[in-house]
Amino acid sequence: MIQNANWRLLCRVLIGIAASLALIGPGVAADSTDGQTKTVALIIDYGDGVQKHFPRLAWRDGMTILDLMQAAKAHPRGVDFQYRGREITAFLFQIDDLKNEGRGRNWLYRINDKLADRSFAVQTVGANDRVVWEFSQYQEN
């Protein structure tokens, strides 16, 4: 049987561990090999001066932009998004209440300021990458 003092000490340790995990926050993971936090930043730019920032979503090897969007959707103040197709044919057409306009503004994404050239469902991201979805008109560089 656990003594009262030992029980209290065990409870304090468990509470300390829980508090430490709460400080890390949802969507953040630590890499088990080196103890460093591996994350990806996601910004949703609605094109009207409003942006939603997710500065530290958990990253994992092989993570795609679709995986990243699903992590943002699961966040307590997340985003909703709609897409059709799968893998190389997946096409995102709406984030929150903004739908693609066709010839007008549409959802485009960049990784580290480079415009994407493939489906968001197959495009992978690296640790510390910065992904921006922007509701804007496509312009060739």
Asked, for residue 22, whether it belongs to a domain, the answer is no
Q: How many domains does the chain have?
A: 1
Residue 119 has pLDDT above 60, yes or no: yes
Structural domain of 88: 27-136
Is 35 domain-assigned?
Answer: yes
Q: Is the pLDDT of residue 23 over 80?
A: no
Give the residue-averaged pLDDT of 81-105: 94
119, amino acid identity: S
- What are the Cα distances from residue 80, in Å, to 7, 36, 97, 102? 44, 30, 8, 20
pLDDT reported for residue 34: 54
Residue 35 confidence class, pLDDT cut points 50, 70, 90? low
The pLDDT assigned to 26 comes to 43
Distance, in Å, from the CA atom of 12 to the CA atom of 104, rounded to the nearest integer, reads: 58
Q: Calculate what percentage of the chain has a pLDDT beyond 90.
A: 67
The answer to whether the beta carbons of residues 56 and 41 sit under 8 Å apart is: yes
